[in-house]
Amino acid sequence: MTTAIYPGSFDPITYGHVDLVKRGLAITDRLIVGVLGNPSKRPLFTTAERLDQVRRAVGGLPRVRVVAFDGLLVDFLRASRAQIILRGLRAVSDFEYEFQLALMNRRLNRKAETVFLMPAEPYTYLSSSIVKEIARFGGNVRGLVPPHVATALRRAHRPARD
């Protein structure tokens, strides 16, 4: 039985991420969505909030588990008894960075195999950073993120009242 890990900060989860989870399920028996709790990235949402958002977005899919992790991805891979790291590539610009990560993960764990998937065309431009920027300035993120995430973004970017 093959198990893949789809790691990320998911700050926040977008429909591009959801698309990759569904694509990942087509090529593996089980998929673990690993929500990185790395505070050095200064996420907008806490790890607990991101876990909840991801679970609500993909938790109903069969063979998907959503868990938080810290530390090295290869250690999480080993502890989860997974064989595959699933990563998304939106554009050629993503490739160089992802290629470096894949090679380093393989150096740290010879059994680590990285599989790159491209999202569906409507999501090739989509990133969490872009979504946060749109939300920060009051733009409409409908169609980019699940409704519960859009609500959380609106709350996070409400102007403070004196």
List, by residue number, the catalytic residues.
17, 41, 90, 128
Q: Is the dihedral of CA 8, 10, 11, 17 positive or negative?
A: positive
Radius of gyration of the chain (CA): 16
CB 150 within 8 A of CB 10: no
Instruction: Pull the structure tokens for residue 153.
Output: 């973004």
Strands 64-69 and 30-36: parallel
